[in-house]
Structure 1
Amino acid sequence: MKTNNPLLYALLFLFSFQLHATDPVLDFLNSLNDAQLSKTRLQFDDVSRETWHYFPATMWPRTGIQLGELNEKQKELFQKMLQYHLSQAGYNKTMDIMSLENVLAEQTGDTFMRDKNKYHISVYGDPEKDKVWSWTFEGHHILLSFTVVGDKISYTPRFFGANPAIVQSGPRKGEHTLAMEENLGLDLINSLTPEQKAKAIFNEEAPFDIFTKNSVSVSAESPEGIPVPQLDKPQQEALLKLIHEYIAAVPDDIAKARMAKLESEELQNMYFAWAGATSLGKPHYYCIQGKTFLIEFDNSQNNANHIHSVWRDFDGDFGRDLIQEHYASHHNN
């Protein structure tokens, strides 16, 4: 089939993305000794595959192997594996978030709890033989979940957090992790007219955390906020720019495909909602809900200097839609 339709090209990328994801994953797995491999590789149906949290490792027990248990060569291979599955922007954010553990260690003196080597890698199933397998990278303020089903891949749920969001002192003073997610949201809410704000702001106080927290699954609820058709064109473009900041953490072809699909199929059914203050440095929260996804952002804790943000797919988290489609097509012939 030939087509000059760029949207159709994008959708073909989304649904027929030819993965060679096994290559960097297998390189990493092949570098592990038997003891390390027994920690890292788990059965695909292990309950830990969908059990996650953004707490530090000392507060939430996890399966998998910690970065601190790897030698330098193994760490290098893992970095390649991570870079393969993320865009440069997504990789940089991951590294920035992990580096904040050093800032917290300096501030608190607690190098046991605040340790950037206490992030866990788990591989579920056999990437070399299985049509369905996944891997996760998880620790304080990070969940990256990749589910591979044949030649397709799921990238959700994805959680990024930052504490401190803005470093207040020391040699890194002024660094603002997840700045775009925060600033673009503030720009959007402050572009609304008073009438629009009255619809968008559903609570004068921001919640203490994202509402979905570490839920295993998330369903579409009655949306809060202002419907996107009630935003003018520049405001809709600002909303899409904000959504793109979240999507852009994944490889470029996948990000472009998902953005094209959202714009063509979901934009007119999206809602933008806000709670709390509309200025930096005061507690604030926003969410964007579409037919298939939910974005949440909260900066309320630690004097509004502690960010939690997440992307959830209602049917696609942990590759559920892809897995269901795969087994339906292979067992109903």
Structure 2
Amino acid sequence: MKAPLLALLLSLPVMADDLSSVAAMKSAADAFLGSLDEAKREKAVFAFDGDERENFKFTPRERTGLPLKEMSETQNAAAMKLLEAALSEKGKLKAMQIITLEGVLREMEKNPTYRDPGKYYVSIFGKPGDEKGWGWKFEGHHLALNYTVVGDKVAVTPSFFAANPAEVREGEHKGLRVLAAEEDLAMALANVLIDGGKKDVIFSDKAPGEILTAENRKATALEPVGLLASEMSDGQKQALRELITEYVGRHRKDLAEADLAKIDKAGFDKVRFGWAGGTKRGEAWYYRVQGPTFLMEAANTQNNANHIHATWRSFEGDFGRDMLSEHYHQHEEDGGHHH
């Protein structure tokens, strides 16, 4: 890859905000597919109802889809446009920095085939714009972005971002903390609650070694831990909201607002925040934010607590399952037959 991805992505003209993310995704997907020859398209395109769409993995492994390293510069730019149709400026920056960290690991571990910033794959499911549903995925080590579009609605989960090293301690990227906000906002909230006498926020002295939902295709609600938003002061609630917005706000404004509205509709007071492990930088920790409809989980335990995994799941809405079943039933009632 000649131009570093970040430079390429940040040099693209910013998409007009008045173009909805759905329209932007369709046009970016069409352009991306249009830039591919038959052999590459063969790798990039999958049936919408096939098994591959829900194959969610964030660990280093063999993957399907078309990898960045097999794309020409034009195709690479087209793939970046797809990311740009989904992510906010902040989200884009995090995604590109995660890819940069693969290069950092490559230097540290001296294993270039295992750690390869070119091994991020684009997959398109179904036909962009298909009313019955279509989707796409951008996935590689520590970054798993899944989008499902049904009509004018978009499901953005499962959404997984991770950072190893969580803080780069040497070399040209020294000081880089890709998921600083995901750590700092949550740790500050845990400490504010403890200082305010709400020690129940801590549900265990020891952090679990990994996020509990792992690479499960379906996420189910975990044991309720910590404190309910309804037990927090206005300021503490605001801090919790800010943490949630850090995850949701990785996406473009219209997507982020729709997701926050869903969380509010299910009841913000029913959202719980629980913490495990140490409450100081450098200590191993884990937290989760769980509401009636969603879960955000983060763990920093591996590599001497310098390796963060952060995931965002929707119990009914991952891979657009809720929208698809609603769409299907709608058509059954209308006498339409969609199979």
Q: Once the two structures are superposed, what CA deviation does each residue of 1:266-324 show, in whole Å capped at 9, x if it has no partner?
A: 21111110000001111001000001100001000001100000000010000001100
- CA offset at residue 48 of structure 1? 1.6
Whole-angstrom distance in 2 between the partners of 1:139 and 1:126 = 23
- Residue 248 of structure 2 is matched in structure 1 by 247
- Residue 77 of structure 1 is matched in structure 2 by 78
- Residue 115 of structure 2 is matched in structure 1 by 114
- TM-score normalised by length of structure 1: 0.91
2:40 aligned with 1:39: no
- CA offset at residue 220 of structure 1? 2.0
- Residue 337 of structure 2 is matched in structure 1 by none
Whole-angstrom distance in 2 between the partners of 1:308 and 1:84 = 24
- Residue 30 of structure 2 is matched in structure 1 by 26
- Residue 235 of structure 1 is matched in structure 2 by 236
- CA offset at residue 130 of structure 1? 5.3
- CA offset at residue 106 of structure 1? 0.8
- Residue 296 of structure 1 is matched in structure 2 by 297
Whole-angstrom distance in 2 between the partners of 1:133 and 1:195 = 47
- CA offset at residue 150 of structure 1? 1.3
- Residue 169 of structure 2 is matched in structure 1 by 168
Whole-angstrom distance in 2 between the partners of 1:157 and 1:83 = 18
- Residue 135 of structure 1 is matched in structure 2 by 136
Change (3 A) 1:107 1:257: same
Equivalent runs, 1:75-224 vs 2, <5 Å: 75-129=76-130, 131-193=132-194, 196-224=197-225
2:316 aligned with 1:311: no
Report the 3-state secondary structure (helix = DSSP H, G, I; strand = E; otherwise coil) of the residue aligned with 1:266.
helix
Report the 3-state secondary structure (helix = DSSP H, G, I; strand = E; otherwise coil) of the residue aligned with 2:23.
coil
Whole-angstrom distance in 1 between the partners of 2:265 and 2:333 = 31
2:259 aligned with 1:258: yes
Change (3 A) 1:111 1:27: same
Partner amino acid for 2:323? Answer: L
- CA offset at residue 81 of structure 1? 1.2
Whole-angstrom distance in 2 between the partners of 1:198 and 1:70 = 52
Verify the 8 A CA contact 1:158 1:312 in the aligned structure 2. Answer: yes
- CA offset at residue 264 of structure 1? 5.1
Verify the 8 A CA contact 1:297 1:307 in the aligned structure 2. Answer: yes
Report the 3-state secondary structure (helix = DSSP H, G, I; strand = E; otherwise coil) of the residue aligned with 1:110.
coil
Count of residues in Structure 1 that have an aligned counterpart in Structure 2: 315
- TM-score normalised by length of structure 2: 0.89
- Residue 54 of structure 1 is matched in structure 2 by 58
Verify the 8 A CA contact 1:189 1:197 in the aligned structure 2. Answer: no
Report the 3-state secondary structure (helix = DSSP H, G, I; strand = E; otherwise coil) of the residue aligned with 1:278.
coil
Verify the 8 A CA contact 2:22 2:154 in the aligned structure 1. Answer: no
- Residue 5 of structure 1 is matched in structure 2 by none
Verify the 8 A CA contact 1:19 1:152 in the aligned structure 2. Answer: no
- Residue 10 of structure 1 is matched in structure 2 by none
More contact order relative to length (CA 8 Å, sep ≥ 6)? 1
- CA offset at residue 197 of structure 1? 4.3
Whole-angstrom distance in 2 between the partners of 1:193 and 1:110 = 43
Q: Once the two structures are superposed, what CA deviation does each residue of 1:76-135 show, in whole Å capped at 9, x if it has no partner?
A: 111111101111111111001010011111111111111110011111111154531111
2:68 aligned with 1:64: no
- Residue 285 of structure 1 is matched in structure 2 by 286
- CA offset at residue 265 of structure 1? 3.9
Report the 3-state secondary structure (helix = DSSP H, G, I; strand = E; otherwise coil) of the residue aligned with 1:193.
helix
Whole-angstrom distance in 2 between the partners of 1:134 and 1:190 = 40
Partner amino acid for 2:32? Answer: F
Structure 2 residue runs of 5 or longer lacking an equivalent are 1-19, 335-339
- Residue 321 of structure 1 is matched in structure 2 by 322
Structure 1 residue runs of 5 or longer lacking an equivalent are 1-15
Q: RMSD value over aligned CA atoms?
A: 1.6
- CA offset at residue 218 of structure 1? 1.0
Whole-angstrom distance in 2 between the partners of 1:130 and 1:262 = 25
Q: Which piece of structure 1 moves more, 126-135 or 266-275?
A: 126-135
Verify the 8 A CA contact 2:287 2:298 in the aligned structure 1. Answer: yes
